[in-house]
Structure 1
Amino acid sequence: MYLETVSDEAADGEIAAIYAAERADMGMVMNATRSLSARPDMAAPVERLLHQLRDGFSLGLEAFRMITLVVAKHVPSSYCSHVYFRGLTRFVGREQALAIQSDHRTAGLSARDVAMLDYAEQIATDASRIGEADIQRLRDLGFSDLNIADIAYAAAFRCFLSRYFDAVGATAEPDLLDDDPAVRAQLAVGKR
């Protein structure tokens, strides 16, 4: 980490609560979470926004994790690629998660999921090129405006967080890395 962050011993108030919740949920405090404490007054609002978006995601947690994995690849963010690959494997299995990360268009997904991930990818690479036709494509596949807004929020928020993590030097914890060196190499899309 390039910046000084709040240690476990020095954590109090909202930072202590954030650390305790993550430790209870994951058995550790992630470097990403620690990196937010470099600006303590921003850590809780950022965490709340992430949890509100993820926990209330209108398309479900599996879709949220697919979106974040695809976006992390295109940011590019090695850290978020490792983390969200691990999270997505719990839903679709390791091989399917690898296929989605490699190229979601050839991963055997439904036309609806491909369109969702195309939209998320476009947000990550150049959202200024998105037009009404892109939104209509999603509507034609049954996405509501709430769903489309959720995809945009998830993709844009992942861009923000991934870039922040890289900018302050957060690195993936060894426990979150895949055991296979070839998979780790595939997921190392940005800073290593």
Structure 2
Amino acid sequence: MFLKTVGPDEATGEVAEIYQAEIARIGFLMEATACWTTRPEVLPLFEQFSEGVKANFSLGMRGWRLITFIAAKQAPSTYCTHVYARSLIKELGSKAQVLALQRDFRRAGLSDKEVAMLAFAEQVARDASKTTQGHIDALREVGFSDVEISDIALCASIRSFVSRFFDATGATPEPVFFDDDLEFREAMTVGKAI
């Protein structure tokens, strides 16, 4: 971490509650959480926003994970790619499927609807200023509602923002997220070297 943040032993109030909940849930405090505490009042605000968006996310956790993974590649965020690769191994059933997704989601065996979703997420993360009505119409044609389209854009945008913030503050992925398979680990290292 490049910046001084609040450590678990010095955390108080809402920051301490967030830290304790994360440690209870996964066994450690992620740098992706601690990096917000250079300004401690920001962590509870971000947690509330992020959890609020996820709680009502119209595309389910599979959609959230897929969109996040593709947006993280565009950032490019090694941290977020490694973290979400781990959860996608369980979601998709194998490391080979995650590698296929990372290399080319259009040829990774996803449904046409998921491919359209990820193409839009990629566009948003790469350069949202080039989004056109045509992109939206294409999503509607394959069955996405406006709420779902908004959620794709929201998820990809959030990931672009937080991935860049993590890198800017020096947050690095914890070793627990690194796969033992060197080829897989190298493929997930899309930005900052580990």
Using structure 1 for the length normalisation, give the TM-score.
0.97
Aligned to 1:67: 67
| Distance in 1 separating the partners of 2:173 and 2:98 | 18
SS in 2 for 1:126: helix
Structure 2: runs of 5+ lacking an equivalent? none
1:73-88, aligned counterparts within 5 Å? Answer: 73-88=73-88
| Distance in 2 separating the partners of 1:75 and 1:164 | 10
Sequence identity, in percent?
47
Structure 1's consecutive aligned runs of 4 or more residues displaced over 4 angstroms after TM superposition are none
Is residue 156 from structure 1 mapped to residue 157 from structure 2 by the alignment? yes
Aligned to 2:168: 167
Shift of 1:11: 0.4
| Distance in 1 separating the partners of 2:55 and 2:175 | 26
Contact 1:55 1:61 in 2 (8 A): no
Aligned to 2:89: 89
1:26-37, aligned counterparts within 5 Å? Answer: 26-37=26-37
Shift of 1:56: 2.0
Residue identity opposite 2:127 in structure 1: D
SS in 2 for 1:114: helix
Aligned to 1:14: 14
Residue identity opposite 1:154 in structure 2: C
Contact 1:82 1:176 in 2 (8 A): yes
| Distance in 2 separating the partners of 1:170 and 1:51 | 20
Shift of 1:49: 1.5
| Distance in 2 separating the partners of 1:50 and 1:179 | 30
**RMSD across aligned positions (CA):** 0.9
| Distance in 2 separating the partners of 1:47 and 1:88 | 22
| Distance in 2 separating the partners of 1:90 and 1:108 | 16
Aligned to 1:188: 189
Aligned to 2:114: 113
Contact 1:68 1:158 in 2 (8 A): yes
Number of paired residues? 192
Shift of 1:181: 1.0
Contact 1:104 1:114 in 2 (8 A): yes
**Deviation sequence 1:91-144 (CA, Å, 0-9, x none):** 112221221111101101111000000000001111111111100110111111
**Deviation sequence 1:1-49 (CA, Å, 0-9, x none):** 0000101110011110110111121111111001111111111111112
| Distance in 2 separating the partners of 1:39 and 1:180 | 37
